[in-house]
Chain A
Amino acid sequence: MPGGLFLAIDPWINWNWLSTHIPHILDALTEHVELTAVAIAVGIAISLPLGILAQRNALLRLAVLGFFGAFYTIPSLALFALLIPFTHLTATTAVIPLIGYNVLILVRNIVVGLDGVPRDVLDAADGMGYRSTARLFRVELPLALPAMFAGLRVATVSTIGIVTITALIGMGGLGSLIDEGQIEDFHTPVVVGAVLTVCFALVADLGIAAVQRIAVPWARPA
């Protein structure tokens, strides 16, 4: 390491830098939260109707899961790179792939969740006079909630991790701390960026699990 030949050993965490840069770190964290929130919100908005429709229609299911499944396999940096000529170095470029990844996970889980509603429950609902829409919103979706929440947790943790990569196309977020540390050959911002990303992911994961406990009291999260 370049620090080798001269003076100070560069510690992995320089507490002085840390204590004097809290606002800067919080800025990065805020940007990260914003990007994640937008990606998840739009992902949910797209996935709910799409997932419900795909579960009912075998052809649509194949098309949606096939298309978004292939999309999911493509590395995020490659997708950012393909979008740059069209949407330039903006938040849009960052968010579109993130939404695409989320849609796969959420749709897949919605489909699995709805598939998992027992046949006899559906029959009972029909027998009680529920019409199609009412049955969907009052019987099927609530029973599919555990699977949907599981998908939300996976999607959120994945998104939080990938948002760090958006620093490479000039977006902020905790990845910009990592990038900064790389440019300046400085350990502390890198460690702070990585650790905060993990913390944010864990907090989000546990938070969603907690919401699940409240919203779906009959099914404990895994």
Chain B
Amino acid sequence: MSFFGDVWRWFADGAHWQGPNGVPTRIVEHLHVSAESLAVAALIALPVGILLGHYGRFGGLAINISNAGRALPSFGILVVAFQAFGLGDLPVILALTALAIPPMVTNSYVALREVDPDIREAARGMGYRELAQVLRVELPLAVPLIMAGVRTSAVQVVATATLAAVIAGGGLGRYIIDGIATQEYVMTAAGAILVALLALATDISLAGVQRLLVPRGIRLLNAPASTRAATFKVA
């Protein structure tokens, strides 16, 4: 079909790979905003989830807030952030961070809760104190599910970053939004393909990181657990 031919030609056109509206620039913008948001969200969400899971406190509350948080429409959050904070990267990062926190909190909490109580007791019996126990015993066991949460958040952040173009942000969403505005559907399709590839690449590479981080013994034991991510799609 000639439409696919047109899309192929769009990618083959060197002009589309240079300058402020070029593919490399847009990818970098997209990744920059996504990475920052994910990092900030992880810094907040992981300690909270891990601690709550370790002590077994307020779990119900944490999970319920997380679920409510996932019901928040990502488009709505972005527009609210824009209206509150204006133009630029800050509102986008704030919105994306807010969306990235719930899956990581839930998964870390559940991951820590699922550590076998016998193992906890054994660690205590061996003389591990609180922090050491968390770091050396519970966390390694919890890594599969925690990483699944990080992976879920990462893919969601990359997906929602596409919407940033609606509030005059950059990133790959620019091709989609501008294409719809000017009915240049070839550009829209090109942007869509790039976003899809980026999202898939994020998922696959984090799956790789997950493999690396899980101690081999645990991986052999726990193969199905890593797929048990609570995956709500938000964008």
Residues of A within 8 A of B (CB): 1, 70, 72-79, 81-82, 84-85, 101, 105, 154, 157-158, 160-162, 164-165, 167-169, 174-175, 178, 181-182, 185, 187, 190-191, 193-194, 197-198, 201-202, 205
With known contacts A75-B199, A76-B159, A82-B192, A165–B71 Cβ distance under 8 A: no
Complex CA–CA separation, A168 to B76 (angstroms):
12
Give the size of the chain B interface in residues (CB under 8 angstroms).
46
Residues of B within 8 A of A154 (CB): 230-232
Q: Looking at the complex, which one of A84, A162, A191 makes contact with B235 (CB distance below 8 Å)?
A: A162
Sample of 7 further A-B pairs with CB below 8 A, known A73-B155, A73-B203, A81-B180: A74-B195, A76-B233, A164-B75, A178-B76, A182-B82, A190-B80, A193-B76
Chain A binding surface SS class: helix
- Residues of chain B lying within 8 A (CB to CB) of residue A72: 231, 233
Identify which of B73, B193, B232, B234 contacts A174 (C-beta below 8 A). Answer: B73
Can you name the residue of chain A whose Cβ is closest to the Cβ of B74? A161
- Shortest Cβ distance from A143 into chain B, in angstroms? 19
User: Are the C-beta atoms of A82 and B75 separated by less than 8 Å?
Assistant: no
Q: How far is the CB of A50 from chain B (nearest CB, A)?
A: 18
Asked whether, in the complex, the Cβ of A165 is within 8 Å of the Cβ of B79, the reply is no
Q: Is B196 touching A74 in the complex (CB atoms < 8 A)?
A: yes
**Docked CA distance A140–B185 (Å):** 47
Q: How many contacts A-B (CB < 8 Å)?
A: 146
Q: Are the C-beta atoms of A194 and B76 separated by less than 8 Å?
A: yes
Of B3, B79, B159, the residue contacting A75 (CB under 8 A) is: B159
Asked whether, in the complex, the Cβ of B199 is within 8 Å of the Cβ of A165, the reply is: no
Q: Which A-B residue pairs are the 3 nearest by beta carbons?
A: A194-B76, A201-B71, A75-B159
Q: List 19 A-B contacts (CB under 8 A).
A: A1-B83, A72-B233, A74-B199, A76-B159, A78-B193, A81-B180, A81-B188, A84-B185, A157-B67, A157-B71, A158-B232, A158-B234, A165-B235, A182-B83, A187-B83, A190-B76, A190-B83, A193-B73, A197-B73
